[in-house]
Amino acid sequence: MHRKEEAAGYERILDMDVKLGQVTIRNPKASLGELAKTFTFDAVYDASSKQADLYDETVRPLVDSVLQGFNGTMFAYGQTGTGKTYTMQGAWADSEKRGVIPNSFEHIFTHISRSQNQQYLVRASYLEIYQEEIRDLLAKDQSKKMELKENPETGVYIKDLSSFVTKNVKEIEHVMNLGNQNRSVGSTNMNEYSSRSHAIFVITVECSEIGPDGEDHIRVGKLNLVDLAGSERQSKMGIQGERPKEASKINLSLSALGNVISALVDGKSTHIPYRDSKLTRLLQDSLGGNAKTIMVATLGPASHSYDESLSTLRFANRAKNIKNKPRVNEDPKDTLLREFQEEIIRLKAQLEKRGMLSKKRRRNSRRKKTLDWEGTPEAEELEDNEDGGLEKNMKNYLKEQKERLEEEKAAIQDDHSLVNEDKQKLLEEKEKMIEELRKEQEATELLATKYKALFRWA
């Protein structure tokens, strides 16, 4: 319990048995002889548990599955002020208090740094559902309303949602911080910084490796990290202005989530009401579909939170009975990593073509040199360059040609036997050749830079 609850004299109504995975809740207004209610879950964490306990025991296997190509979702559900955002994000600056999201960043990039014979591409997106409207938290235009679409192969997606390629923990944290600045939060009696929206941080991990058949195999895992807005009773919130409207929308979407969960575990329902809210549509794969899903239910231990805590326990008890059908997403057609690999092959072929042309030109140039020139240091250096990289060969060739043209240009200017008109014409030709050479050099540098960047990302 927090200080306000202790100061108000509220009693503790929750008992947590970490070993048995049980939560017991006692009604503070119960009559004598009324038994407390007990719920059993896959894991239970009490006030003495650490953030690392939750991550290592419960979340780490989920993130490992995403790295193997499964879809994974983790969402936090519970009353406002019970620690959902702390569970998901925690205190970033304190390693012991860091939440699920920063720990998953560290986990993913540590795994990638240790992997061998595999190429990875990690992308991040961040969105929120505020008053039943989807907002891209990473977009420049925050007023733009995003549309939900459905693809028969990949499922539900958001049209034109921003996606950033990230190469390390620092970059993906930067993406998250940018999004957090745009999140909708507000003050209520229950929580000074209450989340007024459902926020979803999406990490897409694409992996390519050579299979036993010698072919490239790509698998794609998607991790949805969902921080739900708090369930709440408006009478307790002390809210006014926009807050009642926000609370109403929040409760409607959470109610729709509850209805979907009830229909999934019912066994008799022929229709699952995913379309009743944007939240349930987006989480469709995570609830009864192609994903491994974890739900963390956060509880208020004080007597004044009895109704909300009991409701949360019942909600979680239903959710644990959902059966998903996760499968590895292998060789999807539309992967960014595949596009990068194809672009690398194309750029490499262009560089090789340019390299072959430069070698041919050098051979022709050497045939025109006198025999006295052979065996000089310059000739030996040119021969050595043929064995170097394509980019180095091209640079040396272009430099050599430019120097030769400049020498010829100077010789023309010093030749007093030429009439002015002929001299001017020859100089213009040399200037034109130098300009073409400059353009060719710029094109080669651009091509090499693009090739290096793509290879680094992939």
Average pLDDT over every residue of 18-42: 92
Average pLDDT over every residue of 345-367: 65
User: Each residue of 195-239: pLDDT tens digit?
Assistant: 578 999 999 999 998 877 777 888 999 999 998 887 655 445 444
**pLDDT of 434:** 73
**pLDDT of 423:** 64
pTM summary value: 0.71
Structure tokens at 269: 């329902």
Alpha helices by DSSP H, 90-168: 100-114
Across all residues in the chain, what is the average pLDDT?
80
Q: Which residue type does 177 have?
A: N
Average pLDDT over every residue of 103-127: 94
27 exposure class (CB count in 10 Å sphere: 0-12, 13-18, 19+): middle
| Nearest alpha carbon to residue 101 among 202, 229, 230 | 202
Q: Which parts of 212-270 are beta strand (E)? A: 216-227
Average pLDDT over every residue of 317-321: 91
If one compares 314 and 215, the residue with the highest pLDDT of the two is 314
CA distance 178 to 126: 9
Q: 317 falls in which pLDDT band (50, 70, 90)?
A: very high
**pLDDT of 412:** 63
User: Each residue of 398-436: pLDDT tens digit?
Assistant: 677 677 767 766 766 666 655 566 667 777 777 777 777
CA distance 256 to 280: 7
User: Each residue of 134-191: pLDDT tens digit?
Assistant: 999 999 888 888 889 888 777 788 988 999 999 999 999 999 999 988 886 544 444 3
State the CATH class of domain 52-73+81-293.
alpha beta
CA distance 133 to 150: 17
| Nearest alpha carbon to residue 264 among 273, 251, 275 | 273
**pLDDT of 382:** 38
Helix, strand, coil % in the chain, rounded to nearest 5: 45, 20, 35
Share of the chain above pLDDT 70, in %: 74
What is the residue extent of each domain of the chain? 52-73+81-293, 336-457
Average pLDDT over every residue of 354-367: 60
**pLDDT of 24:** 96
**In the predicted structure, residue 242 carries a pLDDT above the cut 60:** no
**In the predicted structure, residue 93 carries a pLDDT above the cut 50:** yes
Average pLDDT over every residue of 73-83: 90
What are φ and ψ of residue 310, in 5° steps? -65, -40
DSSP state of 377: H
**pLDDT of 65:** 95
CA distance 431 to 425: 10
**In the predicted structure, residue 194 carries a pLDDT above the cut 60:** no
Q: Are 298 and 76 in contact (CB under 8 A)?
A: yes
Q: 25 falls in which pLDDT band (50, 70, 90)?
A: very high
Share of the chain above pLDDT 90, in %: 40
CA distance 329 to 220: 5
**In the predicted structure, residue 323 carries a pLDDT above the cut 60:** yes
**pLDDT of 314:** 93
First-to-last C-alpha distance (Å) of the chain: 48
If one compares 4 and 237, the residue with the highest pLDDT of the two is 4
**In the predicted structure, residue 257 carries a pLDDT above the cut 50:** yes
**pLDDT of 384:** 44
**pLDDT of 10:** 94
**pLDDT of 200:** 93
